[in-house]
Structure 1
């Protein structure tokens, strides 16, 4: 929980909010093939995968619904999971992710939710040297996705590199590549 957000596990009852988020062309513009995701895919794959992650992943990790404390409204989600996205195949740490409803953009919710997940993961790690055996947090986005890059910077990640992946479907702006941001957990812990 933060001053403005409740971070909670997804539930089957969240299907409509999650499906609406993933069906929004503005949300999906810089993700995967840049296309909205059909409700059937969210119902049959995305949400079941999120729910299964709570059983599979260590405590404190996964994808969590962001809900406004004041109104109770669905804002989007933030995640902290073992790194596995394109560009992070060799990364030994955790991967940060987030998606926010466009009506909530520009309010700092993505950074607030992401920061809370990082801090929550530290709580589960206690005074140990790392979180769940990893040493850093990383995130990726398209180079042209300046809003997402600002979120990464706000939560303490720093630009590391640009890479060019061979995507099956080119998204407008993909010719500029994708970026990786990263920060060691010891640096994040000192902040």
Structure 2
């Protein structure tokens, strides 16, 4: 799978992405509202293997984001199938994105999210796509609102209050 935008390429994660994944997931600022930063490259290798397994089993998973200009993997974005319950939802598509801080503020989250939503609604024929973000993560909550997601509730995840969002196909198209 490969999705192109004006400035970016979204493609399946490859084993060779482990160093850039480590840079992303070991950064305390990136992980501020998430789990603890990783400390060993093996953790990023394991993460990539897990996502590759999602491609095989579910036909969908987060995608590496490559900046065309630099050729660098700058983060990941896209849809994944929630196979474990989150906020009492299971077997639903979840939008997510995460970028290395030097690439923040350039509109890449919005650009990749729009491409992922287009794929989800038009290629996967989803009726709904969901997302969630820590209530304190103003950047992610702003982006989800700007994309047209409706905040439908909140729940606790690992001790943090998260906002739950839903986007209907007809709201997006």
Normalised to the residue count of structure 1, the TM-score between the two structures is 0.81
Q: Is there any run of 5+ residues in structure 2 with no aligned partner, and where?
A: none
**Aligned pair 1:161/2:153, yes or no?**
yes
Match of 2:47 in 1: 46
**Aligned pair 1:26/2:29, yes or no?**
yes
**How many residues were matched structurally?**
169
Q: With a CA cutoff of 8 Å and minimum separation of 6, indicate the structure with the bigger relative contact order.
A: 1
Asked if structure 1 preserves the Cα contact closer than 8 Å seen for 2:19 and 2:44, the reply is: no
**Aligned pair 1:143/2:146, yes or no?**
no
CA RMSD of aligned residues (A): 1.8
> Alignment partner for residue 168 of structure 2, among 174, 184, 189?
184
Q: Name the one with the larger strand percent.
A: 2
CA distance in 1, matches of 2:71, 2:34: 27
CA distance in 2, matches of 1:164, 1:181: 14
Q: Is there any run of 5+ residues in structure 1 with no aligned partner, and where?
A: none
Deviation at 1:8, TM superposition (A): 0.8
Query: Deviation per CA, 1:133-191, whole angstroms, max 9, x where unpaired?
Result: xx3111111111100111212222121112234x3xx5xxx3xx211111112322x2x
Normalised to the residue count of structure 2, the TM-score between the two structures is 0.88
CA distance in 1, matches of 2:42, 2:104: 26
Asked if structure 1 preserves the Cα contact closer than 8 Å seen for 2:84 and 2:90, the reply is: no
* Higher Rg: 1
Deviation at 1:54, TM superposition (A): 1.8
